[in-house]
Amino acid sequence: MSWYLAMPLMTPVLTAVAAYLLRGSGIGRWVAVAGSALGLVFALMLMNQVIAAGVVTGQMSDWPAPFGITLIADLFSGIMVLLTAGVGLAVAVYACGEIDDDLEEMGFFAIFQLLLAGVTGAFLTGDLFNLYVWFEVLLISSFGLLILGGTRQQIDGAVKYVVLNLVSTIIFLCGLGLLYGATGTLNMADLRLAVDNSDQQGLVTVLSMFFLVAFAMKAAVFPLFFWLPASYHTPTSAVSAIFAGLLSKVGVYALFRTFTLIFDNDPAYTQPILYVAAALTMVTGILGALAQTDMRRVMSYQIVSSIGFLILGLAIGTPLALAGAIFYLVHNIIVKVNLFLVAGVATRLCGSSEMSRMGGVYKTAPLVALLFLVPAFTLAGFPPLTGFWAKVLLVQAALEAGNWGMVALVLIVSLLTIWSLMIVWARVFWAAHPEGLEPRTADLAPVRLHLLLPIAALGLASILIGLFPNGLIVLVQAAAAQLLDPQAYVDAVLGGAP
C-alpha cells in the first residue's frame, strides 16, 4: 500500500534533484516536465486506489500508528493530490516557455518541484507535526520562488509574505505544543479519540482556536488576508499561478481536515466564527478586487473572495455543504491557475499588468482573449461550467440550513465577481490600448505553444467537468461523507483497535 502514497510524494523530490543537477544543459526543464507528468500518473494511480479501497494508509518505516509517521489518503486527500499534480504539470509546461536561462540556473525548476512535494505532503500526512513540517517545506520553497528575479517590487512583496507566514507558523507550532501537552498525541486519528475522551472540552476548544487562526492566516481568511494581494502579483506569472492555485488552498485543506476530524467537539462555538469569517472574506475580497487597477491584483483579491465560499461550506457543515465546498475547491484551483496564466500572457503582450497601460488584446490576439473568456465565465458561475455547479451545491446547502442571509450574500458576491471580470475584459481585452500601442504579439511567437497549451488544457478541463459534472458530484459527496464520519479514517490508521 505504501507505494501508492510514497510515489506522488517522492517523484517531485527526485525530479527536483534531477532538474537541479541537469540545469543549464537544455534538458533540465524537460526533465522537470517529465517528472510532473510521472507525478500525475502516480496521483491517478493513488486516486484509483482510494476510490477502490476508501482509505489508503501507510506507515513509514513500519512503526505502528500512533508512534510512527502515517501517510494517509482518503477521497478528499486523493482529489487534492490529483489536482496538485495536474496543475503542477500545466504550470511546469508554461514555465518552460516563460522562465529564462538565468532563473533556471538559480534552480527555478528544482524549487518548483519541491513546492509540489511540500503541497502533496501536506495533503497526505496523517500527523499534525508532519503537517507542520510539510508546511515548512512548501513555505521555504515558496519563499525561494517568490524572490527569484529579485526586482524591488518582488522583494517588497516577499517581505510581507514571509513575515506574516512566519507569524502563522509560530501560532501553529504553539497550538501543536499545547495540544500535545493536553492530549499526549499528535497523530490525527489518535487525536480524534483523545479529544473525544478528553474531560477538558473547554481547553480543547481554546486550543482549536490556535489552529483556526494559524490555518486561516495561511488560507487568507478575513481579517488575515493582507499578505496575499500584497505579494501574489509580484513574481513571474508561472509562480503567481501556482501560488494562486495551491498555496492558500493548503490552508483551507488543513482547516477542513482539523475541524472535521479533530475539533468537531464544539460546533456551537466554532461555527458562528466561521460564518462571520466566511461572509467577511467573501465581501472584502470582492470589494478589494473592484477597487484594484492592476490585472493580477484584481485576481489576487478574487482568490480571497473565493476562499470565503470554501469557508462557508465548512461553516454550514452539512454533507451537501462540504460536498459543495470540495467541488468549489476543485473548480477554483483549475480556474485560478488558468486565469493567472492568461494574465501572464496578457502582461507579456502589453508589457505591463497595470490595466491603465493595457488594452487591445482582443484585436491582435483573439485566441488569448478566447482563452481568457473560458475561465472568466467559469469563475463567474455561468451554466454549465464548473463554477455554476459548485455554487448551486453551496446555495442549496445554505437554503437547506435555512440561512437566507448567506444565500443572498453568495448571489451578490457572485454578481460582483462578474462585474470585476467585466472590468478586466473591457479594459485589457476589448478597449484599445490607451497610449495607442499595439500588443507585442511578436514576443509571444517563439514560446506560443508552451504558454497557450496549458491554458487551453485547463480550460478544456473546466468545460468537460462542467458538461459532465455527475461523476465529480458523486465523488465529492462521498468525500464529504468521509469527512463527516471519520470512523473509517480512524480505523484505517489505528487498525480498528482504539
Partner 1 sequence: METLLAMTLGCLVAAGVYLMLAGDLLRFLFGLTLISNAVNLAIFTSGRITVGGTPPLVPDGAYEPAGDVANALPQALILTAIVIGFGLFAFALVLTLKAYGLLGTIDIDKMRLSEAKPDEDKA
Partner 2 sequence: MNSLILTTATRLIVAILLLFSMFMLLRGHNEPGGGFIGGLIGATGFVMYAIACGTSEARAALRVRPQQIAAAGLGVAALAGLSSGLLGDPIFTGEWLMIGASGDSKGLALSTVLLFDIGVYLVVMGGILTLVFALEEEI
Query: Is the Cβ of residue 110 or residue 316 nearer to partner 2 in the bound state?
Result: 110
> What's the rounded Cα separation, in Å, for the pair 435 and 494?
66
Helices (H), 184-294: 188-197, 201-219, 227-231, 237-242, 248-261, 267-291
Contact 281, 225 (CB under 8 A): yes
> What's the rounded Cα separation, in Å, for the pair 389 and 403?
19
> What's the rounded Cα separation, in Å, for the pair 180 and 172?
12
- Nearest distance, CB of residue 123 and partner 2, angstroms: 17
Residue 14 found at the interface with partner 2 (CB under 8 A)? yes
Q: Segment 100-129, which members bind partner 2 (CB under 8 A)?
A: 107, 110
Give the contacts of 151 (CB within 8 A, at least 6 positions apart): 234
Among 6, 69, 133, 193, binds partner 1 (CB under 8 A): 133
Residue 466 found at the interface with partner 2 (CB under 8 A)? no
Contact 406, 275 (CB under 8 A): yes
Residue 197 found at the interface with partner 2 (CB under 8 A)? no
Residue 59 found at the interface with partner 2 (CB under 8 A)? yes
Q: Phi-psi bin for 220: left (phi > 0), alpha (psi -120 to 50), beta? A: left
Among 34, 37, 60, 392, binds partner 2 (CB under 8 A): 60
Residue 354 found at the interface with partner 1 (CB under 8 A)? yes
Q: What is the largest CA-CA distance in the chain?
A: 72
Residue 28 contact partner, candidates partner 2, partner 1, none, CB within 5 to 8 A by sort of partner: none
Residue 10 contact partner, candidates partner 2, partner 1, none, CB within 5 to 8 A by sort of partner: partner 2
Q: Phi/psi at 254 (nearest 5 deg)?
A: -65, -40
Residue 229 found at the interface with partner 1 (CB under 8 A)? yes
Q: Rg (Cα) of the chain, in Å, rounded? A: 22
Residue 26 contact partner, candidates partner 2, partner 1, none, CB within 5 to 8 A by sort of partner: none
- Nearest distance, CB of residue 63 and partner 2, angstroms: 9
Interface size with partner 2, residues (CB under 8 A) = 19
Instruction: From 240, 445, 449, 433, select the one nearest 351 (Cα to Cα).
Output: 433
Burial class, 340, CB count within 10 angstroms (exposed 0-12 / middle 13-18 / buried 19+): buried
Among 52, 61, 150, 435, binds partner 2 (CB under 8 A): 61
Residue 355 found at the interface with partner 2 (CB under 8 A)? no
Within 13 Å, how many C-alpha atoms sit on residue 86's CB side?
A: 23
Residue 62 found at the interface with partner 2 (CB under 8 A)? yes
> What's the rounded Cα separation, in Å, for the pair 371 and 460?
10
Residue 234 found at the interface with partner 1 (CB under 8 A)? yes
Residue 59 contact partner, candidates partner 2, partner 1, none, CB within 5 to 8 A by sort of partner: partner 2
Interface pattern 15-54 for partner 2 (x via CB under 8 A):
-xxx-xx---------------------------------
Give the contacts of 448 (CB within 8 A, at least 6 positions apart): 97
- Strand pairing of 70-73 and 56-59? antiparallel
Residue 200 found at the interface with partner 1 (CB under 8 A)? no
Which residues sit at the interface with partner 1, rule CB under 8 A? 129, 132-133, 136, 139-140, 143, 147, 150, 152-160, 162-163, 166-167, 169-170, 173-174, 176-178, 180-182, 184, 229-231, 233-234, 293-294, 354, 356
| Residues at the interface with partner 2 (CB under 8 A) | 2-3, 6, 10, 13-14, 16-18, 20-21, 58-62, 69, 107, 110
